[in-house]
Amino acid sequence: MNEYLHYISKLKIACSKKNLDFLKIGNVNKNYPLYKIVINGYNARKTICFSSGIHGHEKSGPLTILQFINNLNRYDLPLYLKIIIFPVANPYGFNTNSRYNYQKKDLNRCFCNPQKLLTENKYLLKSLYNEKIFFFHALHDDCDEKYFYLYAYNKNNEAIYRKIVNKVSQFFPIRHMKKMYGKVASQGIFMDHEDGSFEHKMYLEHTPYSICTEIPGKTKTDLKIRCNLDIIDFIIRFSSNR
């Protein structure tokens, strides 16, 4: 059994125990099924979305999702809050420990141009068709970093993003004043970042809150998972109370 299918088998068991919808949304290169998890899928009034594993070598996101599902009974989830999760957005990359998909393309640069959409991009976006997402969070690792930072959109919501950075500072040092893609991080936040990513696309689709968190890759896996879970918990509580 390959690494991806081994991970999926554990995730299926976890979802089954919690009576969650574990839905196949397509096949990638014939051999790699792509899935989403839906929590409170019926009659919900507000929807949030988490995506991980779009860069296959960044493993803390998918591991966090598995831990989140296993611990789901610890969360006070209101029935009016729907949660959509893409646990591994790039199954081929996850299995081969690669940033890229089976076509050697970076999926996270192809969401915003209809002519560049790849198979995975199309499945992911189609799966969100007619969904009105309130908060979108893409979980990433920066494998070369010892510091945390995030990409965010809509300056009107910067105060919320600052709260996330402050929470993370309990786990990791924050990246200050690093230039990337022509922009400089302001106290850990790259604001108004445009790169064709999933979170960029969701912002263009009028999602009020859209972020990508970059957990420092040069740290212990269990600490990365704990930090990601803390961010997820914050987003759930924030979205529940808005």
Cite the active site residues.
214
Token pair for residue 42?
Answer: 């019926």
Closest CA to 14 of 34, 37, 48, 43: 37
User: DSSP string covering 65-119, please?
Assistant: HHHHHHTGGGS---TTEEEEEES-S-HHHHHHT-SS-TTS--GGGSSS-TTT--H
Name residue 241's amino acid: N
Locate tokens 């529940």: which residue? 240
- Write the CB contacts of 194 (distance below 8 Å, at least 6 apart in sequence): 200
Token pair for residue 222?
Answer: 């269990």
Closest CA to 52 of 25, 20, 91, 81: 91
Task: Point out which residues pair with 114 in neighbouring strands.
Answer: none
- Write the CB contacts of 68 (distance below 8 Å, at least 6 apart in sequence): 229, 232
DSSP state of 171: T
With residues binned 3-state (H G I as helix, E B as strand, rest as coil), the percentages for the chain, rounded to 5, are 35, 25, 40
